[in-house]
Amino acid sequence: MNTMIADPETYFQRLLPERSAQLKRLETEAANEEIPIVGPVVGELLYILARFGRARRMLELGAATGYSAIYLAAAGRDVKGYLVTLESDPDLARRAEANLAEAGLDGHARVACDDALAWLERTDERFDFVFMDIEKEDYIKTLPRLENVIIPGGLLVADNVAFKDADPFNRAMFRSPAWRSVSLHALLPGHSPRYDGLCLAVHMA
């Protein structure tokens, strides 16, 4: 008989992807300083999605200390791509820069200390992969610009879509003919919070 794994929370908690001592240190720092990071499961998912899609032009909105940026830039390094990551807090932007350099990824990532919404308004760069992880109430405001900035066929991954503030974004995404999207609600060990939603959306036009 095909039965389910008993206590999947404990079971999958033990199957965390391997990661470097640096990433483990950043996880400890994030826990101590209450910095919400994606953790090893979503970090690995970002690497896999970017690497599978051979994403060469990646953008991250919300770097914090550079934890998720390290996964994305590592995928970029494998395909001669690069990551631009935006962080509005100058101290965090400096830490993200230092952490990317420590990981040997500074040749594949650029940290810009800027407001993501203002930056999106100004940029004429185009991206094939965007990871969004800023204030959830701002997600809806980014959508019109992301439709210009992400190439047709490009991927948007939005974190924390189970937060109430993401509701306008979720509804707009659900209705929009410009995107083909799916939202997953799952146990995400090491993610802040541990149960949350992730939206994956392909730009259709």
Which chain residues interact with ligand SAM by CB under 6 A? 36-38, 62-64, 67-68, 86-89, 92, 115-117, 133-135, 138
For residue 119, CA distances in Å to 70, 78, 125 come to 21, 27, 10
Q: Looking at beta carbons only, is 135 or 167 nearer to ligand SAM? A: 135
Q: How far is the CB of 189 from ligand SAM (least distance, A)?
A: 14
Q: How far is the CB of 149 from ligand SAM (least distance, A)?
A: 14
Q: How far is the CB of 117 from ligand SAM (least distance, A)?
A: 5
Q: Looking at beta carbons only, is 184 or 204 nearer to ligand SAM? A: 184
Q: How far is the CB of 43 from ligand SAM (least distance, A)?
A: 7
Q: Are 68 and 129 in contact (CB under 8 A)?
A: no
Q: Looking at beta carbons only, is 134 or 150 nearer to ligand SAM? A: 134
Residue nearest to ligand SAM (CB): 62
Q: Looking at beta carbons only, is 88 or 170 nearer to ligand SAM? A: 88
- Measure the N-to-C terminal CA separation of the chain; round to a whole number of Å: 46
